[in-house]
Amino acid sequence: MSALGPVRARQSYRHEAFLWNGRADFVRGLLPFIRDGLEAGEAVMVATTPEHGDWLGTALGPVASGAHFVDMTELGRNPARIIPAWQKFLDDWSGPGRPARGVGEPVWEGRRPEEILECQLHEALLNLAVDPTTPFWLVCPYDAEHLNAGVLAEVSRSHPVIATTASYQGSRSYRGHDHAQTMFAAELPDLGGRPTQITVTAAELAGAAECVVLETGAGDLGWDKVVDLIDAVRRLVRDSLHRGAAEVTVRLWDRPEVVVCEVVDTTVIEDLLVGRQLPSAVGHDAIWTANQVCDLVQVRSGERGTIVRLHLRK
């Protein structure tokens, strides 16, 4: 793939998608990209599924030890944790005159719809999260054989360049910051059913936690996760009130495989990267804290207000 693209601008950020079909195509496209980076003395991080990482490791042979291999099924279980991981990698290994490369595979066959939705937001936010002058070349592989047409169409809206082993071209559908803003302000899919719901004011903050305890305690959620959820809800409600909300709505669904809890208010969050950047003070960012303990966190904010939806698997 790298041979098909233009000569790299060593002092710029590039975020590209690579569409592949089958193991041979995957390796043929990414192997030169990784190997060329290692031979140039660049730091290389490969964040893929374990299977795909094994394909690349086998093809690279002994030089594979020079790359940082990361299990994306663990790192990206909550997609909001991926950008902080890339940022740490860049802080440690990249800078002026120190180019770095990455392979990031946030979407794979079998991911749940709500996870894919957050991966798509993550990809759009990656265009804002990295300074354009950072010498970082990031390639995101997508399985064109098994992912559906809707997922593949979205790839072109969040990546300025789309590559295959036979082509390399700019995306006509790429929308940059506007796309990230639109996705961040969009409504989340309706969960249906009849959730437990309470309204919380500053004087009733403890009551929100008690509601969560009663509901999750009756289900199959482990006690350690109950404690995490209680703490996350308290922090999020407190954060809403601090932003100026007169009251906050907390909703909870106890599903067979997952507990879902929403914290909703009428305020607006302007920072699209909220919860995805290391906070300046420990415990200061309620959404960051939720991202560290929940299996999935979905944040949307716009004219209608803000919703933070937490998922904890049983």
The CATH number of residue 24's host domain is 3.40.50.300
277 plus 173 within the same structural domain: no
pTM over 0.85: yes
The reported pLDDT for the residue numbered 140 is 98
123 plus 156 within the same structural domain: yes
Alpha helices in 100-256 (DSSP H): 113-129, 149-158, 176-185, 205-217, 223-242
- 295 in a domain, yes or no? yes
Domain stop point among 164, 185, 206: 185
181 plus 200 within the same structural domain: no
169 plus 242 within the same structural domain: no
172 plus 283 within the same structural domain: no
- Is the Cα dihedral 164, 166, 170, 173 positive or negative? negative
Q: What is the CATH number of the domain that holds 297?
A: 3.30.565.10
Question: What tokens appear for 41 in the block?
Answer: 């003395």
Which residues does residue 264 pair with via DSSP β-bridges, in sequence order?
Answer: 249, 307
Contacts of 123 (CB under 8 A, 6+ apart): 106, 140, 154, 155, 158, 159
- 2 in a domain, yes or no? no
**The total number of structural domains that make up the chain:** 2
Distances from the Cα of 4 to the Cα of 136, 166, 169, 277, angstroms = 18, 8, 10, 34
75 plus 174 within the same structural domain: yes
- 191 in a domain, yes or no? no
- 8 in a domain, yes or no? no
Distances from the Cα of 268 to the Cα of 242, 252, 255, 262, 272, angstroms = 12, 22, 29, 16, 11
SS3 label, residue 249:
strand
pLDDT tens string, the chain, 314 residues long: the values are 444 444 554 579 999 999 999 999 999 999 999 999 999 999 999 999 999 999 999 999 999 999 999 999 999 999 999 999 999 999 999 988 899 999 999 999 999 999 999 999 999 999 999 999 999 999 999 999 999 999 999 999 999 999 999 999 999 999 999 999 999 999 999 999 999 888 888 777 766 666 766 666 656 788 888 889 988 998 999 999 999 999 999 999 988 899 999 999 999 999 999 999 988 765 579 999 999 999 999 999 999 999 999 999 98
- 9 in a domain, yes or no? no
Domain coverage including residue 274: 196-313
152 plus 247 within the same structural domain: no
210 plus 307 within the same structural domain: yes
Domain stop point among 127, 162, 185: 185
- 85 in a domain, yes or no? yes
74 plus 108 within the same structural domain: yes
145 plus 202 within the same structural domain: no
Question: What tokens appear for 140 in the block?
Answer: 């995101």
Do the Cβ atoms of 176 and 156 come closer than 8 Å? no
Residue with tokens 């959730």: 195
295 plus 154 within the same structural domain: no
Cβ atoms < 10 Å from Cβ of 245: 21
The reported pLDDT for the residue numbered 3 is 43
- 6 in a domain, yes or no? no
Domain stop point among 165, 185, 205: 185
134 plus 45 within the same structural domain: yes
- 168 in a domain, yes or no? yes
